[in-house]
Amino acid sequence: MRTPLVAGNWKLNKTESEAIELINAMMPGLEKVGGVEKLICPPFIALSSAARLLNASSIKLGAQNMFYETEGAYTGEISPTMLKDLCEYVILGHSERREYFGESNQIVNKKIKAALAHDLIPILCVGENLADNEAGKAADVISTQLRASLVGANIFDGSKLVVAYEPIWAIGTGRSATAEGANRVIRNVVRPILSGIYGAHVGNKIRILYGGSVKANNAKEYFGMSDIDGALVGGASLKAEEFVGIAEAAQK
């Protein structure tokens, strides 16, 4: 009932010309994958070229971040109205933004509300660090992140929000969470909290992705799980063959 979503978070990688090259390399393979929503999130500077390239394709475009104001004296920032012209999705609250750029749950909350107000679909990232995981605090951390990030964020259609569960200890480390472990967190923690906030009808429609060292050769294990609706892919989304392989693995 939820269409799988395979999203590539390119992070701080690729110049504009390299981005065009990568999109051209992955487009034919991605276009052949049906029944899966395919999304790429290149850096801001490549968004308008990417939007032109993907215009007539089935591949969607997203940004990796956004400020919550629409305009004004905020040097260096990008607004929801600027993004709305170019893309459909925006990744918000990624752990790297929380860690390196001081994004609190309160800031993420403002961004989520701004994205929704401008009809951008937020991909809200949550996940515990290694210390919290080992101390058995994963559920508490995730619960706080979700509740605080979604305060006052009204959603009446579950397809307007995506959540990515990305355990920090599994990002870029090659040490992925087991499919069973990720599924358990999503089924027992993330989905019940979303259903508690929005009601089961909306909650059941929100797609929940796993992220953290997903590759073409392990993707099927995750997509075979009952509650994992796709993946937010970092490193492997920078290689055309790998990313196409992951999208193929999401096909039913």
Q: Which residue is nearest to ligand 13P (CB)?
A: 234
Q: Interface with ligand 13P by CB under 6 A: which range of 75-83, 147-155, 227-235, 241-249? A: 227-235
Three-state SS at 232: strand
- Kindly tell me which residue out of 193, 234, 240, 243 binds ligand 13P, with binding defined by CB under 6 A: 234
40 binding ligand 13P? (CB under 6 A): no
Nearer to ligand 13P, 9 or 105 (CB): 9
Per-residue binding string, ligand 13P, 116-145, x by CB under 6 A, is ------------------------------
Annotation marks residue 118 as catalytic: no
Nearest to 8 by CA among 249, 252, 235: 235
Amino acid at 226: S
Answer for the pair 116, 206: CB distance below 8 angstroms, yes or no.
no
The interface with ligand 13P within residues 159-218 (CB under 6 A) comprises 166, 171-172, 211-214
The one catalytic residue among 37, 96, 166, 242: 166
Cβ density class 57-91: b for 16+ within 10 Å, e for less: eebbbbbbbbbbeeeeeeeeebbbebbbebbebbb
Minimum CB–partner distance for residue 56 and ligand 13P (Å): 27
Cβ atoms within 10 Å of 188's Cβ, excluding its own:
12
Residue whose pair of structure tokens reads 């964020």 in the numeric block: 153
200 Cβ partners below 8 Å, 6+ apart? Answer: none
d(CA 145, CA 134): 18
DSSP state, residue 231: E
Per-residue binding string, ligand 13P, 41-80, x by CB under 6 A, is ----------------------------------------
Minimum CB–partner distance for residue 165 and ligand 13P (Å): 11
Annotation marks residue 94 as catalytic: yes
Cβ density class 203-215: b for 16+ within 10 Å, e for less: bebbbbbbbbbbb
Nearer to ligand 13P, 9 or 109 (CB): 9
Minimum CB–partner distance for residue 132 and ligand 13P (Å): 17
The one catalytic residue among 37, 94, 103, 128: 94
Instruction: State the residues that interact with ligand 13P by CB under 6 A.
Output: 9, 94, 166, 171-172, 211-214, 232-236
Q: Which residues are catalytic?
A: 94, 166
